[in-house]
Amino acid sequence: MELENTKEMNSSFNQKQHPHRRYNPLLDEWILVSPQRANRPWQGQTEKVTEEKLPSHDPNCYLCSGNVRVNGDKNPDYKGVFVFENDFGSLMKDNVEFSYEKSDFFTLKPERGINRVICFSENHSLTLPEMEVDDIKKVVDVWQEQYKDLGSEDYINHVQIFENKGSVMGCSNPHPHGQIWAQSSIPSTVLRTQENLKKYFDKNGRSLLEDYVKKELEAEERIILENEDFVVLVPFWAVWPYETMIISKRKAENILEFSDSEKFSLAEIIKNLTTKYDNLFEISFPYSAGIHQSATDGKPHPEWHFHMHFYPPLLRNAEVKKFMVGYEMLAEPQRDITPEQSAEILNNLSTIHYKSM
């Protein structure tokens, strides 16, 4: 088949109109941005999804207070935050004997770890944006306690705190909760981030994210929220349509360094960000979110700077999702709507939850 001959046209580059690649210094990788495919900000959803109204207590929910879990253990009649070890954890504490045999193609090693579940509230019907800031602050307190507790184990070298919200993100239970996976190895993505943070720190003597936040505050193109201690922004290299990062203004290696007032600031900005997400399409907005912070391997990590990623999959409405397929799986991440466009849309949303309006 012959392709039609087209005359090449030279024009000045415009990042709002022309395909381009953006560099992610945290992962040392590139993303393809194709703004010409969606070069106007989206004006709203095309249809609404009717959400199921959840009860404050579900007798069939294994996370609700007083209920019996699948393994036969009974939850206490807890109020507020409740933590327990995952009944079906992906990691095990067992220290097994292992004989290492080097191989070019079949290398493996045992992995030890601990999986815990954190229920944010006894109220089955709530999510983070619908909780009070004081109650979210209690969740942050527990994150701090768990990071310290798990990180003190000799064989735990990384503590991953995260939340999957919504069935589209694989969350099988709507009860407000998150997870912690603590393990003996530093996971691949975190290790890549650590290596790139260290390269920058060794070269400049400063935190990469501290310098990055200063530049973003000067540019004022991708800032969503800001308070005394934290900034929320759409990263210049964002992959997901409405991806954001919470970054501490002060370089803190991990959550243990935060004061009580800083933890309150973090809780406040989490509530405001997740409220904006819910307001975008007036639904309980799905996402995967998690904290990146220094390893618990007993080594100094001056390169680390606390930050929290939010990866939501929705694109144009409550039912149109961004999938990583084809080119994204085989070549590199790609997005249509630019980070600046999504930042503008998120920035214009209220921090008052739509259910309260």
Residue 119 assigned ligand-binding role: no
| Residue owning tokens 């989206």 | 42
Active site residue 177: yes
Q: Identify the CA nearest to 302 among candidates 263, 251, 231.
A: 251
318 assigned to a ligand binding site: no
Query: In which residue are the tokens 């370089």 written?
Result: 251
Residue 61, annotated ligand binder? Answer: yes
Given the residues 18, 57, 158, 177, the one annotated as active site: 177
Q: Establish whether 323 is an annotated binding residue.
A: yes
Give the residue from 272, 221, 211, 220 showing the smallest Cα distance to 246.
272
Q: Is 170 annotated as a binding residue?
A: yes
Does residue 70 have a known ligand-binding role?
yes
Six-digit token string for 201:
């720190």
* Coil vs helix vs strand at 194: helix
> Is 78 within any annotated ligand binding site?
no
> Distance between CA 160 and CA 255 in Å, rounded?
12
* Residue 21 known to bind ligand: no
Q: Is 115 annotated as a binding residue?
A: no
Q: Is 175 annotated as a binding residue?
A: yes
Tell me the sheet residues that pair with 335: 33
What DSSP character marks residue 167? G
Could you say which DSSP state residue 310 is in? Answer: E
The SS3 assignment for 117 reads strand
Residue ranges of the annotated binding site for Zn(2+) are: 61, 64, 124, 175
Which residues belong to the active site? Answer: 177
Residue ranges of the annotated binding site for UDP-alpha-D-glucose are: 37-40, 70, 86-87, 164, 170-172, 179, 322-323, 327-328, 334
Residue ranges of the annotated binding site are: 37-40, 61, 64, 70, 86-87, 124, 164, 170-172, 175, 179, 322-323, 327-328, 334
